Structure 1
Amino acid sequence: MTHFIVSDDVERSRRFYTEVLGGRALRSGVPSIIEFHNGWIIINEGGGPTDDKPTVVLETPQDPDRVSSFLNLRVSDIHAVYADWSARGAEFITPPIERGHPEIRCFLRDPDGHLIEVGQTTRPGGWPPKAP
């Protein structure tokens, strides 16, 4: 899966996703393409409508506390990821919190305010649950 984000400063965001979160730049410039584990992130500037989306304007989040979607990353050791990314400059909203539905999770924002969830399952056998 590829996740597309809009940035006010594509180079700044490229550095965040590579230097802080550990992705690998496949393309720099505008747009930038980051290989991130088993997917990709495209970072591009905003812009007005196009013929295939005639009423849609792409822009960075206007209010980072009001979101309609976010990037969700599943990791095997959330405490190690939290320590590593924090040391590289990531600013988490909270440290990892144990949740009641077998999960530990925490959130951070990228430089443009896009919300990112980092989670680890505590379910025996991992995630997703095995089919019966």
Structure 2
Amino acid sequence: MPISANPDPRSFPAPREGFVVTHLLIVADQDRSREFYRAVLGAEVVRERDPVALRLSNTWLILNVGGGPTDDKPDVIAAPPQSAHVLTSALNIRVADIQAVYREWKARGAEFLTEPKDRGSEIRCYMKDPDGHIIEVGQSTGILRQQA
């Protein structure tokens, strides 16, 4: 998808009332991460950088580089994951057909930790973005049967 040089203001996460939830990821390289989410997951690039703003299906991702404290977070340093083996948060993507999504995204270059695993109430697997952020990809199965 092309980068929107002048995005429609209605497509940017700036509500006139209420609120919108976005997910901020601190990344090492905005261009590399933007291209991963665009090319592999099909995100629409709304803002190219500083920070990157992406529309991903029915949600928003903001990608920004790390940095030192600022006046509104004086004791906080922003940094990408220091270890791909420590999970502190995860983007969770729910899909209708996990097997099809797994094949499609793997063909586009996604690095999955394992193939999808059936857990009874869901089928899920995990992938990593270029900085090692974990992304859970899951399909609800048993939860839907239990509610029926």
Q: TM-score, normalised by structure 1?
A: 0.91
Aligned match of 1:115 in 134, 139, 148? 134
Matches within 5 A, 1:93-104: 93-100=113-120, 102-104=121-123
- The runs of 5 or more residues in structure 2 that have no matched partner are 1-20
Question: Does the 8 Å CA contact 2:46/2:53 hold for their aligned counterparts?
Answer: yes
Aligned match of 1:30 in 50, 70, 77? 50
RMSD: 1.6
Q: TM-score, normalised by structure 2?
A: 0.82
Per-residue CA deviations over 1:76-98 (Å, capped at 9, x if unaligned) read 10011101100100010000000
2:139 and 2:130 map into 1 onto residues whose CA distance is 23
Per-residue CA deviations over 1:1-50 (Å, capped at 9, x if unaligned) read 20001111100000000101111101102211110111100011101111
Among all aligned residue pairs of Structure 1 and Structure 2, give the percentage whose two residues are the same amino acid. 51
Question: Does the 8 Å CA contact 2:24/2:63 hold for their aligned counterparts?
Answer: yes
Q: Report SS of the residue matched to 1:34.
A: strand
- Specify whether residues 40 and 126 from structure 1 end up closer, same or farther in structure 2 by C-alpha distance, changes over 3 A only: farther
Greater than 3 Å deviation, 4+ residue runs = 124-127
Aligned match of 1:53 in 58, 73, 88? 73
Question: Does the 8 Å CA contact 2:110/2:127 hold for their aligned counterparts?
Answer: yes
Aligned match of 1:75 in 95, 98, 118? 95
Q: Report SS of the residue matched to 2:101.
A: helix
- Specify whether residues 126 and 11 from structure 1 end up closer, same or farther in structure 2 by C-alpha distance, changes over 3 A only: farther
1:8 and 1:124 map into 2 onto residues whose CA distance is 37
1:75 and 1:97 map into 2 onto residues whose CA distance is 14
- The runs of 5 or more residues in structure 1 that have no matched partner are none
